[in-house]
Chains A and B, each alone.
Chain A
Amino acid sequence: GENVEQHPSTLSVQEGDSAVIKCTYSDSASNYFPWYKQELGKRPQLIIDIRSNVGEKKDQRIAVTLNKTAKHFSLHITETQPEDSAVYFCAAPNSGGSNYKLTFGKGTLLTVNP
């Protein structure tokens, strides 16, 4: 099955700085990579995703890059704001069939200091 590693486990930045979170995956057939943001006690919220036919995707201050050869993908947040503080999870699906169960990384606690 898929194995997803995520680093760092905690990340503290000053407001306005950039934050980068990295994940690696094991299944070379995986073709979809979502990122979820989870605030304390709330649901995981899909913030951005990337499919394997592109190397980068941007949505305002958030971007995701994918390196299929190296089997890693990263979340980039620019101009961080205190409301970006949350736990961020990367995930990758199993590649068998159309089930797409997600295997999550262990999460990164991002703290943006004002």
Chain B
Amino acid sequence: EPEVTQTPSHQVTQMGQEVILRCVPISNHLYFYWYRQILGQKVEFLVSFYNNEISEKSEIFDDQFSVERPDGSNFTLKIRSTKLEDSAMYFCASRPEIYEQYFGPGTRLTVT
């Protein structure tokens, strides 16, 4: 069964550094998402992407964040200048035309 994949599984970075989190959605899926989960808390929506553009973003997704689909398979989340409070698990998700969203295994981002 196809799955969403993400790399790296764990990223440690210093405050102020740029990070890029990578995702490979399930092929033939059309909608792509990034969510984050701070340890022990609920999953929070960051951004959705469809037809090569952002379709919606949350208030968390400020100018420090950007997303890109550089080719037909990858979907990336970039954080330009990381802050301590960006430490969280970041999940990529994708869905086909209809409802079900499938989540990747996540990237644990630790900002020191």
Which A positions have Cβ atoms within 8 angstroms of B?
Answer: 32, 34, 36, 42-46, 49, 51, 89, 91, 93-94, 97-107
Taking a contact as CB atoms closer than 8 A, the residue among B41, B91, B95 that contacts A100 in the complex is B95
Shortest CB-to-CB span from B5 to chain A, Å, is: 11
B18 within 8 A of A: no
A51 to B42, Cβ gap below 8 A? no
Contact of A46 among B50, B58, B101, B105 (CB under 8 A): B101
A99 touches B55 (CB 8 A): yes
**B41 / chain A contacts, CB cutoff of 8 Å:** 106
Known: A49-B100, A94-B56, A100-B99. 5 other contacts (CB 8 A): A43-B106, A46-B102, A51-B99, A91-B43, A99-B56
Residue of B nearest to A45 (CB): B103
Residues of B within 8 A of A (CB): 31, 33, 35, 41-45, 48, 50, 55-56, 58, 91, 95, 99-106
Q: Knowing A43-B91, A44-B91 touch, does A101 contact B103 (C-beta < 8 A)?
A: no
Chain A residue with Cβ nearest B91:
A43
Whole-angstrom CA separation of A109 from B106 in the bound complex: 20
User: Are the C-beta atoms of A42 and B105 separated by less than 8 Å?
Assistant: yes
Nearest-Cβ distance from residue A43 to partner chain B, whole angstroms:
4
The docked-state distance in angstroms from the alpha carbon of A45 to that of B93 is: 11
A34, B95: Cα distance in complex, Å: 13
Q: Which of A49, A91, A99 counts the most B-chain CB atoms under 10 A from its CB? A: A99
Nearest 7 CB-CB pairs, A to B? A43-B103, A104-B43, A32-B99, A101-B45, A104-B42, A106-B42, A43-B105
On whether the beta carbons of A101 and B99 are closer than 8 Å, the reply is no
Chain B residues whose C-beta falls within 8 Å of the C-beta of A51 in the assembled complex: 99
Give A105 to B44 CA distance when docked, in angstroms. 10
Across the interface, which residues of A come within 8 angstroms of B105, CB to CB? 42-43
Q: Which residue of A lies closest to B49 (CB)?
A: A99
> Are B48 and A101 touching (Cβ within 8 A)?
yes
Contact between B56 and A101 (Cβ–Cβ < 8 Å)? yes
Find out whether the CB atom of B31 lies under 8 angstroms from the CB atom of A99.
Answer: yes
Contacts of A106 in B (CB 8 A): 41-42
